Amino acid sequence: MKLSTRLDRRLDRRAKHAPISFLRPFATLMLIFVSAHAFSHGNAAPTTKSDRSIDFPDVEGYQTLVVDLHTHSVFSDGHVWPKIRVEEALRDGLDGLAITEHLEYQPHRADIIHPDRNRAFEDASASAKDSDILIIPGAEITRDAPAGHMNAVFINDANKLLNDDNAPEDQADVLAYYAATKEWPAQSAVDAAHAQGAFVFWNHPYWSRQQPDGLARMNDFHRKNAKAGKLHGIEIANGQNYSEEAHAIALKHDLAFIGVSDVHDLIDWDHPPAEGEHRPVNLVFSRDRSLEGIKEALFAKRTVVWFRNLLIGREDSLMPLLAASISVGSATYREGTQVLEVDIQNHSDATLKLQNRRRLLSWTQPMSSACLHTA
């Protein structure tokens, strides 16, 4: 944070002295860098959006929906009831939420009777019935490497993704239960999800408990499923982490970019809104505000990940979002000068840095307008 603030100040000084001849949004091939400066230490400009709701404008032809496709509750290894997950999601202004319990790892099973793996979805749906948030049915298939962890969302019945026929009688022996249930081949669980038309993605492929050097690598299991159309996405961002290697795998194997909170405790503990932080989410460009619309958009890979004030996506998803986020109110020359005053408005939550011919010009605060002088 300190480094970034220093950098911003330096760039700010440069911007003030740099003569500019035209403006254009700065985009790298795949990343749009945005500044955390405006959100830090309470020194944001007065125009900065102050509420915690995650808002991005709709893009041409699509609604921009904000979804978190990976969360947990007490029905696996989370520590809150599904209702709290819904309440948090409403505070964050999410349009869609999936509670994706580990099917095989059930640390609370001695205390919470859980024969039906659809309970988290049902409880969340009941909690959400008076709001317009869309609850997405999902579950987490949990194995050791190479399959690792995979989320299946838009399923019909989570129970069919689990086989606990050989599970021990002892309810309290969590590890024995996991050891028995993970023996059912991961491929059988993926096939069961596929049979339900699920959207399946590979979770945190760089997780150091399964990948000791922390670097995501494609393996035969996932390569085969991606090729067969049974693996559709990959987490490039999860909680506090972003993986360049997972990003590269998504591009190489034509998988959707997925970014999730994977929250287990309280979302405000992981991403304190008072400190300007936000949970990682997917922006999904959907034909309408419906479960079916989100599902279709995911399969079509119309997603952008919003992670630590960074927008990550394919160019064909990012550029329409940028186009919708920025508008030019006016552009007029000061009388008798060659100095052009440009009023730029930012309709998004992102602090967008704008660059002119490789020199940084300025940035625009979320939901604000900025007046830039160019010559």
- Minimum distance from CB of 70 to Zn ion (Å)? 6
- Minimum distance from CB of 72 to Zn ion (Å)? 6
Binding positions for Zn ion, 130-159, rule CB under 5 A: 140
Q: DSSP letters along 304-354, please?
A: EEEETTEEEE-HHHHHHHHHHHEEEEEEEEPTTSSPEEEEEEE-SSS-EEE
> Quick one: 92 or 140, whose CB is closer to Zn ion?
140
Tell me phi and psi for residue 12, to 5 degrees: -60, -45
> Quick one: 123 or 262, whose CB is closer to Zn ion?
262
- Minimum distance from CB of 346 to Zn ion (Å)? 33
How many residues bind Zn ion (CB under 5 A)? The answer is 2
* Cα separation, 137 vs 118, whole angstroms: 8
> Quick one: 73 or 368, whose CB is closer to Zn ion?
73
Q: Kindly report the number of other CB atoms within 10 A of residue 291's CB atom.
A: 15
Pairing of β 303-307 and β 281-286: antiparallel
> Quick one: 92 or 262, whose CB is closer to Zn ion?
262
Binding positions for Zn ion, 214-273, rule CB under 5 A: 262
* Cα separation, 327 vs 221, whole angstroms: 45
- Minimum distance from CB of 104 to Zn ion (Å)? 12
- Minimum distance from CB of 303 to Zn ion (Å)? 19
- Minimum distance from CB of 218 to Zn ion (Å)? 20
CA distances (Å), 125 to each of 99, 161, 210, 280, 368, in order?
10, 20, 33, 22, 35
66-97 burial, b at 16+ Cβ within 10 Å, e below that, comes to: bbbbbbbbbbbbbebbbebbbbbbbebbbbbb
* Cα separation, 273 vs 223, whole angstroms: 38
- Minimum distance from CB of 305 to Zn ion (Å)? 17
> Quick one: 78 or 276, whose CB is closer to Zn ion?
78
> Quick one: 261 or 356, whose CB is closer to Zn ion?
261
Q: Kindly report the number of other CB atoms within 10 A of residue 259's CB atom.
A: 29
> Quick one: 181 or 362, whose CB is closer to Zn ion?
181
- Minimum distance from CB of 258 to Zn ion (Å)? 12
> Quick one: 38 or 141, whose CB is closer to Zn ion?
141
Quick one: 336 exposed, middle or buried, by C-beta within 10 A (0-12, 13-18, 19+)? exposed
Binding positions for Zn ion, 268-327, rule CB under 5 A: none
Footprint of Zn ion (CB under 5 A):
140, 262
